[in-house]
Every structure is written in structure tokens, then in C-alpha cells.
Amino acid sequence: MAEKNGCFNGLKCRECGKKFPAEVLYVCDDCWGPLEVDYDYDKIAARLTKETILSRKPNMWRYKELLPIEGDVTVGQHVGYTPLVKSDRLGKALGVKTVYVKNDTVNYPTLSFKDRVVSVALSRAKEFGFDTVGCASTGNLANSVAANAAAAGLRAFVVIPSNLELGKIIGSLIYGINVVGVEGTYDNVNRLCSEIAGHYNWGMVNVNLRPYYAEGSKTMGHEIAEQLDWQLPDHVVCPMAGGSLICKIEKAFNEFIKLGFVDKHDFHIHGGQAEGCAPIVEMVKENRDWVKPIREPKTIVKSLAIGDPADGPFARQTMIGTGGWGENPTDEETVWGIRTLAETTGIFAETAGGVTVAAAKRLIDAGRIKADESVVLCITGNGLKTKEAVEGEFDAIDSIQPKLAAFDELLKKIEGKEPATVS
């Protein structure tokens, strides 16, 4: 094991506060609450300044002291620091003046925010000495575990529902690791992985390594604040599957306030889920503090189709506590969101991104986000992985002979269909 040099003391229960050593633990043995990393913020404040951050390379490890590894970064050294894109055209389409896209569709190496959590989890897995790692996944996480494990020389088993999009299955197989399809929902997969972790003593990133894994998501929030010139936005809209990311964005903002990197600001964090699987949004809308699981999710948004979200109660608390809200757009609205984002920003997001854009539209239309307030949309995955969601939207492309006359004829046809002015 590398020299111990982390800024955390151990783990503690998010429910009852009981403390645990920084080992492979994820459940409180008193109350069954989830464990999270217990940082030493005085130590962090002594080591990490804005200047230190600015002097480091543009990746998520520029905030290393706020991440739970003890030694050097051994997996995923290049992950993160994705663009924060301001788009007036998207703002116009949504009805707000200032909108930014946090573009994790180009995260490295597997084009989703999951590379953030996996680089932390696998760096930590190596510190613990695991030789086999794995995950329960709706696709993006599997891709990231597969790629990062392959690069690190770790044996890997990624477990997914068998009916995932082809792009997500190939996107794991290509790395030469073991891909296991399960006949059932993500929640069936998740349950199996809990049993696998216990039985085989493997490092399952979102089961027994989850307290470490989940911290990686904070870097999306850290980057947003840094890229806004050390300010917090008025609003953030974030997709929710298990509900972890939205909580970690709030945590990241609060850490930067605590460290004095940003001024205190009244920010509001909103969550989006697909109508066909929205157990957390329903908790917000029905003012209920417990998760009513969804047995059979019915949506094109497979990456968010977690019927029994582990962080549901905490995600609800983040939304309610920050004065945010939850929205659950239909699949039709989601496709509108994907197309609108692409047509106004040049960013092709997967279905979860469509949910985020469509949820933002609902929040703006309802006046929960006002036209003169700033909003950041967390776009977490790449549309090239879920092409099935939009392929039915388009007619077959025009095919012509390689002759200018043929093109002339086609152009007349196209111009006849175009609106009079293009903004």
C-alpha cells in the first residue's frame, strides 16, 4: 500500500453518526444506514487552496484532498474537468437568459460522469489489494469499470440487465472483461451484486466500495463552481437514478463554501427522472420521505431506470433542503430534450440528458427557475451510446447520384421545407 497521506479519518454513518475505520465497509452495523467518508476539513484547509487547485492539471484530481484515497492516484489520472458550456441558443429555447451545460458527454475515457466515481473506487480498490472488481450497472458504470479496470490490469465482472442498448453492451465487451447479463431489472442486478460482493470478496464499486466511489461525483460540483469563476449558480438540474450524484453536487458546493473558495449563495438543486421510473420525484411531489419502489420501469431512459434508489431519501432531502424540486418528463419530452440540446449546443446527450433538459423546461415553465436566474444542466452521458432512443425520429436520409444537377434538385426540395428564416 502507498504511504497513507489522505485527508480523511475513516467512515461514518449518515443516519446515526457512528464512526468506522476506513475499510471495506458500507453499512452501519447498528442502524443499517449508509456509510460515508469522514474528512478532516482542517487538514484539507491547510493543504488545499485555490492557488494549489489552479496550479494542477485540468482533471478531477486537482481536488485530490477532497477525495478518499490515501496514496497516489493509480486509476483514472485523466478523468474530469469537462467543459462548462454557456449557451444563449439553449437559453432561448428554454426561456432563461443564462444557461450552462456541464458536459460530461466528453468525460474521459468512457464518455459519462461515471468515470469520476470509478477512478476513485478503483484507485481505492488497489489500495485495499483487490484483484477482482465489478459493479451493478445500467450501462455507463459498466463501461467505465470495464475500461478503467482493463487499463489498470484488474480482473472485472460488470453485471447489467440483459436488455440494455447495444452501444452500452459493446462499450463494455470491447475492453475484454467479463460482462454478465441478468434477466431482470437493474434492481435484480443490484441485489445479485450485493450477494456477489459478500460471497466472493470482490471490490464491487457501488456495493462494498460505495462510500469511496460516491465521493467521485463531487468533482462535477467542484468543477462547476471553479468554472463559474469561483461562484455558485442559482440553479442546478441533475438527473437521478440511484440519487447519489445530486447529493454529491450539494456536498461539493458546501465544501467549497466551508473552505472559503466561493461565497455563500442561495443555490437550488433540482432533480429529473423519467415518468416511467420516477420513485424519487414522486417522493418530492407526494411529500413522502420513504421510497415506494417501481417494480417494472417503463421508459426509454434505461440509464435512470432504478426502481429502488438507494439514495432516494437523501436525494429528496437535497431537493427540499435547497428549495429545489423534482420533475419527471415523459419519453416524448425526453426526446425533445435530446434534440433541443443537440440543435442548440452541438452536444449529443444520452437519454438521461434529455430528461435533464426536459425537466429544466418544466421547472422554467412553472416559474421555479426564473428567466433572469442562472442554471447549470448536468449532462452526464453521451448520446452515441443510446442511439436507439432517437433513431425512429428521422426519415431515411436523401440519397442522390454524384452529380451537381441531382444536388440542385435536392436543394430545392430542402429549401421548400425550411422555415423562412433560420436564427
Partner 1 sequence: MAVTVRIPTPLRKFTDDNETVSAEGGTVQEAIVSLQSQYPALKERLCDDSGNLRKFVNVFLNDEDIRFQDGPATAVKDGDELSIIPAIAGG
Strand 268-272 with 326-327, pairing: parallel
- DSSP structure string for 353-375: HHHHHHHHHHHHHTTSS-TTSEE
- Least Å distance, CB 8 to partner 1, is 19
Sole binder of partner 1 in the list 10, 18, 27, 83 (CB under 8 A): 27
Contacts with partner 1 in 236-275 (CB under 8 A)? 241-244
Neighbour count for residue 176 (Cβ, 10 Å) = 11
Decide: 375 and 235 in contact? Cβ < 8 Å: yes
Number of residues that bind partner 1 (CB under 8 A): 42
Contacts with partner 1 in 114-153 (CB under 8 A)? 136
Q: What are the distances in angstroms from CA 361 to CA 199, 237, 284?
A: 45, 10, 18
Instruction: Extract the C-alpha cell encoding 149.
Output: 479496470
Sole binder of partner 1 in the list 17, 19, 29, 163 (CB under 8 A): 29
Q: Which is nearer to partner 1, 83 or 293 (CB)?
A: 293
The contacts of residue 55 (CB under 8 Å, 6+ apart) are none
Binding mask 56-95 for partner 1 (x = CB under 8 A): ----------------------------------------
Of the listed pieces 144-152, 308-316, 343-351, 391-399, which binds partner 1 according to CB under 8 A?
308-316
Owner of C-alpha cell 458546493: 253
Q: Is 181 in the site for partner 1 (CB under 8 A)?
A: no
Rg (CA), the chain: 22
Distance CA 165, CA 172 (A): 11
Q: Is 376 in the site for partner 1 (CB under 8 A)?
A: no
Q: Is 33 in the site for partner 1 (CB under 8 A)?
A: yes
Strand order across the beta sheet in which 203-204 lies: 178-182, 155-161, 132-136, 203-204
Q: Is 210 in the site for partner 1 (CB under 8 A)?
A: yes
Q: Is 403 in the site for partner 1 (CB under 8 A)?
A: no
Decide: 134 and 128 in contact? Cβ < 8 Å: no
What does the binding site for partner 1 look like in residue numbers (CB under 8 A)?
Answer: 15, 25-27, 29-34, 136, 186-191, 193-195, 197-199, 204, 206-208, 210, 241-244, 290, 292-293, 295, 306, 308-311, 313
